Copies of this chain bind each other. A is one copy, B any other.
Amino acid sequence: MKARTIALVGAGNVAVHLGKALAAAGHTIAAVCSRTPESRTALAAALSPATPVATPDFRNLDLDIVILAVPDAALAGVAAALQVQEGTMVVHTSGSQPLSLLDAVAGARTGVFYPLQTFSRAKPVDFNAIPMLVEAREEETLQELEQFARSISQQVQVVSSDARKQLHLAAVFACNFTNHLLGISREILQQANLPTNLLQPLLNETIAKASQFHPFTVQTGPAVRGDQNVLQEHLRLLQNQPRYQQLYQVLSESIGEVREFGS
């Protein structure tokens, strides 16, 4: 592995976990930049020998890579303020923002370095199992970035900005929406005074099966059976929760269409 000298911009969950993984892999974090003094001081101390800095002006540092790990909404502003030596690689870590957002950074070779995972402050992370999605315009930059990504992850994937947008949409369905359904399910269990972990084995099996087969081919439940008795009874049970009733209806109709399509 080629050890790199890195500056991190941002001190949130992504910056913290990524910084630790990079330091553990043998890279040098030379600087941590954050507007919040406590954040940059704390993260720099955790990533020795990093220096805390207040603004993203790295002209006096010999860096290989600057990693922008800031919220999506802050990214354009940071890119506009960023200053680096000619030829430094600058990457952002956002799943939803295009590579072109970094065109504003003068003299940099730009790329995307996106860890496809959700991070919680307290929970340690095994980067080895996290897909690292990389993108760059120039072939040489892309190869460097892939090599760099492989120093922390065994799952490195080149993904264009367009495909990354589709991936983000897929993630909203698979993760954000799924989480919401799990919340509704939990509410129903609580209202019936049932233990909230009761469905865990069934859910685990559902998730395991959906990774082995195309989920549409292993769909179970009243909607795919076209079981009108159960569907009507469930809509009745939800009569005081019109939003959940609507969700139930639309999801069941969508499942019904897959059934018709498949039959």
Contact = CB atoms under 8 A, between A and B. Distances in A.
Interface residues of A, number: 82
A38 interface: no
Contact of A189 (B96, B167, B172, B254): B167
A74 interface: no
Nearest to A165: B237
Interface stretch (A25-33, A103-111, A140-148, A211-219): A211-219
Contacts of A117: 201-202, 205
Contact of A173 (B162, B184, B192, B218): B184
Interface in A165-210: 165-186, 188-189, 191-195, 197-207, 209-210
A192 B219 contact: no
A148 B52 CA distance: 64
A234 interface: yes
Contacts of A177: 181, 247, 251, 255
Interface of A: 96, 116-118, 120, 129-131, 157, 159, 162-163, 165-186, 188-189, 191-195, 197-207, 209-211, 214-216, 218-224, 230, 233-234, 237-238, 243-244, 246-248, 250-251, 253-255, 257-258
